[in-house]
Copies of this chain bind each other. A is one copy, B any other.
């Protein structure tokens, strides 16, 4: 019997927009935190206009803002800033991903809200962080995939550099921040103080370059992109099949024995070029040709069946269509349908964190812009009807 969502009772004041910040607060909201998203009055998050859009409503927005509440606020008005400060008294956590300096200019930076609530935990995500020479540079994910090292390492050796299709540095910065916020919350439980957390997207990309950085600093030679080859092992790559591509990952002698057995090519085991992993890696061009001679004669499905049975790591390159029909993702509750008054029923990726004693919330659709104005002003901030009326007249809410 699962108790409840583990972050029930945690209150989040959410100024985030687009992807990195909203992925962070989605992780919090999925696990039960009460997240109030403060949007620009009448305009809202940029992603309200991001594809795919239907009848003026964006599925990009509804994906990343499920389980959250929304209020529209004029942050450039004195009264708007006052409301933010009142909400800071209510909140445990604040998250924002404006360009560095913007929240301070608005009067809702860490220093401002800490005065109201010394226990507040305040997380800022930006392209390059709050310090350092690049801090003022505007950034989207592709710029950070380029400047964080990812693009130079992706694609063919003598070809063009590629970004990963989805904006992975946004998502990665978001989940690094979610981790940091929980660390700060735990720290506050024990030490009584809140704090400011600064995460830069370039930093998080650089933090996840696997062995590329240490390879340079140990050997003096910087590795660059090399197709789908692995930096240390072979045969470990993608291979052409009768109907597409397949990935095969052989990182040690035992797996190489299994692979050659499945291919009916035990002779490769005897070849002195392929005895040990470092030799297979040194002679991988030839070896990859031997593997591809076998894969090209078979469909991806046939190869996966054969190698799955042999215990060799293998996988097809799944399309979005494949994934939405995937039986494994279904059983893992990673395909969640949510009804929406404008968009109808849409399938979203579920939450990847599966816990035994607690669980994600039953997903609620994303809010319409300003949908929870009444709730925030009345229930959280205890404002009277006449006060609310005045705020509306003053164009604050």
Contact = CB atoms under 8 A, between A and B. Distances in A.
Count of identical protomers in the assembly: 2
Interface of A: 3, 6-7, 19, 23, 27, 31, 46, 49-52, 54, 59-60, 62-63, 110, 127-134, 137-140, 142-155, 160-168, 170-172, 175-176, 178-180, 182-187, 189, 191, 193-200, 202-204, 206-219, 222-228, 230-232, 236-238, 245-247, 249, 251-252, 277-278, 281, 308, 311-321, 323-324, 327-329, 331-332, 334, 343, 346-358
Contact of A331 (B131, B210, B213, B332): B131
Contacts of A162: 154-155, 162, 227-228
Given A129-B332, A149-B323, A200 B164 contact: no
Contacts of A208: 23, 166, 168, 171-172
A251 B145 CA distance: 16
Contacts of A187: 6, 357-358
Given A153-B166, A200-B332, A203-B334, A352 B217 contact: no
Contacts of A167: 210
A222 B133 contact: no
Nearest to A49: B277
Contact of A51 (B131, B150, B193, B232): B232
A324 B216 contact: yes
23 contacts: A50-B211, A51-B232, A132-B327, A132-B331, A132-B332, A133-B328, A137-B313, A142-B237, A147-B317, A149-B320, A149-B323, A151-B238, A152-B319, A153-B165, A153-B166, A168-B172, A180-B355, A182-B185, A183-B355, A199-B353, A214-B346, A218-B343, A222-B324
